[in-house]
Structure formats: C-alpha cells, structure tokens
Structure 1
Amino acid sequence: MKTLVEDTTETYAPHIIIVGGTSGLGLALALHHQALGWQVSVVGSSATKIADINSQYPSIVTYACDLTDDTQIKKLLEKLSRIRFNRLIYSAGSYTNERIHHLNKADSDQMLAINLQAFEQVLRWASSQLKQQYQSLDASKSDKPSIVCIASIAGTMDYPYASLYAKSKRAMIATASAYRAALVPHDIQVNCIASGYIDTQALRDLNDGDASHKPFIMSTQTAVHHIMQAIDDDVELAIFPRSMRYITSALNHLPKPVLNWILRSKLDKAR
C-alpha cells in the first residue's frame, strides 16, 4: 500500500477521495478525475484490486479498509484526516439478491454495515473535515468542496416489501438530503446519485457473467458522464437513465395498495 507524499510544489491540483474506488463505477470515477488532473485516493477492501491499481496507476494513492470493521474504519479516517481534499465520493456497496436468496446473518450484517453504517460514519467525518478545511481552500484554485453519495434507483421506491438493500439505499438518499441542507451555510455541496443498472463486473458476476438482459443497462462511462453532469449542475438527487426515472416516478404516484401489489408480486420472492 502506498503512502501519501505531501506536494511541496506550487502547482495545486484538487484532491478526491473515493471510498469503494478500486473497481467498477468507483474506479471509473477515479480514472476520470485523474484524467482531469485531480489527485486521487481510493479506498477498497480487496488486496488484489489494490495491488492491481498500485501496478497500473502508480499515481493513485490506495488505502485498504474493511468497511464492516469499525476499528479499521477509525484507523482509515485518522490517516485521511492528515490530507486536504476537495471531494469525497462514497461508492462502496454490498448487494444480495433477496428475491432469490433468503438473507443469512453474514449477508444481512454486511449490507447494513457497508450500505448504511459505514456510509454514515464516513459522511459525518467528511462533512466535519470539509468544514474545517474550507477556510484554507483557495476558491480560485479549487472546485467547490463536495460530497457525492452513490445510492441506487432502488432506493427511490417506497413500499413495505422493499429489500434490505433498497431500504438502506433509501436511507442513504434521505441522509444525503439532510446533510445537503445542513451544509448549505458552509458552501459545501452534497449530491446523491440514484442510477439504474450499470454494466460492471460485479453485476455480471451476479448474473452468471452476462447482465445484458437487465432493463436500460448502461456502460460505466455513460454512468460517469451522468454523475459528473449532476455534480456540475449541483443536482440534489440525480436519477438516471431517464427511462427508469419516468417509470419509478409513475409507480410512486400509484395508490399505495396498487404499488404494493405490483412490487410484491413482480419483484419480491414468495413469503
């Protein structure tokens, strides 16, 4: 694992931290920011993925952390507190298909820890750090400080039979909204992303190597484009692709009994 070296040159580049940035969408966002000239730090749990990044992208700083381990999270945040950053993206996530598999204790604990508990811990830390650091940031040389939360379009649906994954993503959306309101006086923006299916290796692995059958599935580069546009436009909750945004909006306007019947019969496993 590489260590951060203080930049003593006069050239200033904004710094981004991506939690869950060693693969999939998180890595795509890391590489996009790097191409824009940002300093990039990524956090991941896989030693293999971290080693690959260290080899292929030596200028990216990597941190290993198991987000289900509170002690490791505290140590990570202590290390990250030593650096100045302009943007943090929380892209870590855990998913178990509850329509096929009944949750066991390990899956339940992992999804709750990564999708909600670690997220809240990192978000609280990031907001505190940015509030402290903002006065020392030269606005003429840096982008507006920002926190970006990667949720899911599943979290935009409100019905009682939702999965733990959907409920945790819905909680993420609500938490991001609260932080957005609270950080307005500090001139720190908070954006939440609720995307549909993205063609990542993780999604393919969950679908026997091929996720092309997923409705309105998009490439990681398309998702990156939408996310960067949402950040630039300071969108509170960016829901995409447009087709799925329309569908979920229409479903949410149905009478609750009808919505509950549709989603329970079409989406959920038998109970």
Structure 2
Amino acid sequence: MTYLKPNALKPTTADAPHVIIVGGTSGLGLALARHHQQLGWHVSVVGHDRQKIAQINRQYPHIITYRCDLTDRAQTHEFLQRLSAITFYRLVYSAGSYTNERVQTLNAVDSTRMLAINLQAFEQVFWWASERLKQQPTSFDMRQYGKPSLICIASIAGALDYPYASLYAKSKRAMIATASAYRLALRPYDIQVNGIASGYIDTQALRDLNDGDASHKPFIISTQIAVQHVMQAIADDTELAIFPRAMRYIIYTLNSVPKPLLDWVLRSQLDKNNK
C-alpha cells in the first residue's frame, strides 16, 4: 500500500525539474531532498516509516511523500506503476538496510531485508527509472540542470574488493557494478548515471547504531558536507564518487594489496569469532 500526501503544496516554479528520492525520508536522502528543494526543484521522497513521513508533511509541505515497503516486490511494482504518471528528471536511490555482521550473527530476517532493499529493490527501481527516462522527452536546459540522471547511493564498503566481505558490503558492491553497467547502457540516450560510495556520515541512523554518538567513527562527515560531495559528483558526472578524500586513499591502497593477504588481515581484525 502506498501513501501520497494529499495536501502537498506545489513549488512556485512550475517549469522546474522533478527529482524522486527513494529512501528520502531521513539521513542523506532527506538532506538531498531539502537541497534540491532549495534549488527550486519539485521533490518527491519515498519511505516506509509513517512517523518520518508525517514529520516531513509538517515541516516541508512542498515535498511530496510516498510510502512503500521496498521489501515487498509486488507492492514495489504496483507503486512504480502508479508513479509512472509522474514525469521526473532525476532519481536518487538512497534506501538502505544495515546489520553489523561483525558483531552479531546474521539471521534470516536481517539477511532477507538487506538483500531486498540493498539490491533487489534497487535493481527493480533502477530498471523502471531507466525505462521512464528513455521514453521521456528532455525539456530542460542541461546547462542549468545537467542531464537526466540516475544516482546510486551505495557505500564505501562496496568499493573495497576483498573475499571476506559482509552481505552488506557485497550488496553495495553489486549496486556499484549495476550502476556502472547502466551508465554504459544509457550513454546513447544522453542519460547520466553516477555511483556514490561515501564513508561515515553523521546521520541519526548511524548514531542509533552507536549508542547515540558516532563521533568516534574515522573521518566522519556531516550530512551537509556529504550533500556537497554528491552534488559535485553529479555536476562533474563522476562514475563513482568515493569520499571523504582520506577514505578514498585508504580504499585505493587496500585494493592494491594482494587479495589473499588482504583477506587474512581483515579476517584477523574483523571476525567476531577471533575476539
């Protein structure tokens, strides 16, 4: 079942482009929604938490909200069919699910949820969005708004290539690879695709996972700084933006280490059974 805010106010700029942000009711997704709104875009966000949606309805009446359970493939399909009535210029997939597999054993519920949101729903939404953008005429000034675009918000965990990766990291790596394939496939249509692999962002979700304080996380950045990085990556049409810079250098260095050695080091450092 989906939810559309019935009393949504429309932006004052009737000729503005429209961005849809899946997973846009909190964290980086909501920050990107607010940023696009400030730029004059029409903004729609998709989430599953009723309280978060209600809060956005109160605080940001110009943002249109939808409710959809991305773990339900049939519901997601029905939702996307309804959403096909909307003409959009950019779609951002920012939804995600995380379980710390280094601390606790992955159970069936968490495994199913992570795979559904981080990979299966992502592929479902990206396929739908790519087909829609291919069919829609481009009516906006690309010098002002850039090309029609699909943006994949993955994780720096997916940028590291090593055998001993968690389900979360493997699903995020699959997202990055999928976005790269779409980038190549959609180039003839003049549609850009960008992957985002960020390090730690100081969101409420991350704080909740760390007893209310995530300041100890290495190279953590604010959502405002993360938004700047994402928007710069879109403006520069970067295939895969890895940030912050220190984390990008670390990833490049680790990816140059022989895989057996990297696997051994990470097993010894991360495996909960060795603690």
- Shorter-chain TM range is over 0.9
* Partner deviation per Cα, 1:205-261 (whole Å, 9 max, x = no partner): 000111011000000000000000000000000000010110111111011121111
Using structure 2 for the length normalisation, give the TM-score.
0.94
Instruction: Give the aligned partner of residue 238 of structure 2.
Output: 235
> What are the Cα deviations for residues 103-156 of structure 1, in whole angstroms up to 9, with x where unaligned?
1100000000000000000000000000000x2524467541000000000001
User: Does residue 90 of the first structure (1) align with residue 88 of the second (2)?
Assistant: no
Q: Which residue of 2 aligns with 1:145?
A: 148
**What TM-score, normalized by structure 1, do the two folds share?**
0.95
Give the AA of the match of 2:179: A
Unaligned runs of 5+ residues in structure 2 are: none
Q: SS of the counterpart of 2:184?
A: helix
Worse-matched range after superposition: 228-237 or 65-74: 65-74
2:47–2:53 Cα contact (<8 Å) kept: yes
Aligned positions of 1:13-28 closer than 5 A? 13-28=16-31
Aligned-residue CA RMSD (Å):
1.9
**1:193/1:237 contact within 8 Å kept:** yes
Does the 8 Å contact 1:13/1:142 carry over to 2? Answer: no
Q: Pick from 72, 76, 87 the counterpart of residue 73 of structure 1.
A: 76
Say which of 60, 65, 74 aligns to 2:63.
Answer: 60
SS at structure 1 position matched to 2:5: coil
Deviation at 1:76, TM superposition (A): 1.4
Are positions 1:12 and 2:9 aligned together? Answer: no
Deviation string 1:11-69 (CA, Å, 9 cap, x unpaired) is: 40010000000001000000000000000000000000000001111110000001001
Structure 1 segments unaligned to the other structure (5+ residues)? none
Quick one: distance in 1 between partners of 2:16 and 2:145? 7
Distance in structure 2 (CA, Å) of the matches to 1:223 and 1:267: 27
The count of corresponding residues between Structure 1 and Structure 2 is 270
2:269 aligned to which of 247, 261, 266:
266
Deviation per CA, 1:177-210: give whole Å up to 9, x if none: 0000000000000000000000000000000111
Establish whether residue 124 from structure 1 lines up as the match of residue 127 from structure 2.
Answer: yes
1:30 maps to which residue? 33
Q: Find the aligned partners of 1:142 and 1:229 in 2 and give their Cα distance.
A: 13
Q: After the TM superposition, which parts of structure 1 deviate over 4 Å for at least 4 consecutive aligned residues?
A: 3-7
Is the CA contact 1:86–1:142 (under 8 Å) kept in the aligned structure 2?
no
Q: In 2, Cα distance between the equivalents of 1:236 and 1:102?
A: 34
Q: Which amino acid aligns with 1:19?
A: V
Question: Using a 3 Å threshold, how does the CA distance of structure 1 residues 11 and 63 change in structure 2: closer, same or farther?
Answer: closer
Q: Which residue of 1 aligns with 2:50?
A: 47
Q: Indicate the percent of aligned positions where both proteins have the same amino acid.
A: 70
